[in-house]
């Protein structure tokens, strides 16, 4: 009887401790609990949710194809400052993004996998070969003001797709472009993940008449992942571990956007797991 009473006290004390530290269905946070002045135990620390735990909610089937565009390439180096070259960083981060996306089952396409030059038109053409997709153009910033810092994401003010050309009778026909997704929602998902995961300054999402986002039919964004001209940003971007974190943030943004897509009618949701 005494043993059963002590067990009941233990269960009540544990439940109270969990409620106090808000750890229902999770590992408790750090703390000490004393029962009747003599029983003391340590509550183990809770870990920050991993990327895998966050993205395991991606809904399949019909995962979006992610077209990843490493900015610049070949003789076009992009920003070159503080010992860093944008052309090389964009490819490095893009390959990291692709690897993480594959872990969770997303099909991917890279516009370039090596140090080659591609025109903006060619990049858009590659993206437009793929239906049910999103387009991510990865870049880094430069400013004459060394204090400029942070991340920002651009989307199209409006789309200018091949369907928006002169038609056979000579009249300008906007058609599908008028209702095309400008990428604003995708930009918001990515920007939120970038700021949360990297703790970089939030420069927001912005609509711009950039060729690469206007001429891709799918939702398209251009990500500026930091300022190479800022000494602090440059130190971070020169660190492979930080670039991996940046890639993880981009993947998290894609998964968030994927979860917002309508499911095929009559099909129950399934969870995408690593290796599928």
pLDDT digits (tens, 9 = 90+) for 164-181: 443 444 444 444 455 689
Asked if 69 and 7 sit in the same domain, the reply is: no
Q: Is the pLDDT of residue 187 over 50?
A: yes
**Does residue 94 lie in a domain region?**
yes
pLDDT digits (tens, 9 = 90+) for 42-99: 334 444 555 555 554 444 458 999 999 999 999 999 999 999 999 999 999 999 999 9
Q: Is the pLDDT of residue 159 over 90?
A: yes
Q: How many helices (H) and strands (E) does the chain have?
A: 8, 12
Structural domains in the chain (count) = 2
**Does residue 266 lie in a domain region?**
no
**Does residue 270 lie in a domain region?**
no
Judged by average pLDDT, the poorest of 15-29, 45-59, 237-251 is 15-29
Q: Distances in Å between the alpha carbon of 232 and those of 7, 59, 152, 219, 237? A: 55, 37, 17, 32, 9
- Residue 37: give the domain boundaries: 2-43
**pTM (whole model) above 0.85:** no
Quote the tokens at residue 55: 């993205």
Asked if 101 and 63 sit in the same domain, the reply is: yes
Asked if 77 and 168 sit in the same domain, the reply is: yes
Nearest-5° Cα angle at 177, 73 to 194: 50
Residues forming a β-bridge with 42 = 32
Higher pLDDT, 46 or 183: 183
Asked if 38 and 116 sit in the same domain, the reply is: no
Asked if 105 and 27 sit in the same domain, the reply is: no
Asked if 183 and 226 sit in the same domain, the reply is: yes
Asked if 212 and 174 sit in the same domain, the reply is: yes
**Does residue 264 lie in a domain region?**
no
């Amino acid at each position: 009887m005494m043993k059963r009473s002590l067990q009941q006290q233990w269960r009540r004390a544990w439940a109270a401790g969990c409620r106090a530290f808000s750890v229902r269905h999770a590992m408790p946070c750090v703390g000490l609990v004393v029962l009747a002045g003599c029983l003391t135990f340590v509550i183990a620390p809770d870990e920050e949710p991993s990327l895998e735990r966050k993205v395991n909610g991606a809904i399949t089937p019909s995962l979006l194809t992610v077209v990843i565009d490493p900015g610049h390439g070949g003789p076009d180096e992009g920003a070159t400052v503080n010992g860093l070259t944008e052309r090389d960083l964009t490819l490095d981060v893009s390959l990291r993004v692709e690897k993480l996306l594959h872990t969770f089952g997303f099909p991917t396409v890279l516009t370039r996998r090596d140090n080659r030059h591609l025109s903006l038109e060619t990049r858009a053409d590659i993206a437009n070969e793929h239906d049910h997709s999103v387009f991510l153009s990865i870049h880094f910033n430069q400013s004459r003001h060394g204090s400029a810092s942070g991340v920002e994401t651009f989307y199209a003010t409006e789309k200018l797709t091949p369907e928006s050309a002169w038609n056979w009778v000579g009249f300008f026909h906007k058609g599908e472009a008028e209702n095309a997704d400008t990428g604003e929602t995708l930009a918001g998902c990515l920007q939120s993940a970038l700021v949360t995961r990297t703790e970089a300054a939030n420069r927001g999402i912005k609509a711009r008449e950039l060729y690469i986002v206007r001429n891709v039919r799918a939702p398209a964004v251009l990500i500026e992942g930091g300022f190479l001209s800022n000494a602090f940003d440059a130190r971070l971007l020169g660190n492979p571990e930080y670039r991996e974190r940046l890639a993880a943030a981009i993947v998290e943004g894609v998964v968030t956007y994927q979860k917002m897509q309508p499911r095929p009618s009559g099909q129950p949701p399934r969870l995408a797991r690593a290796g599928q």
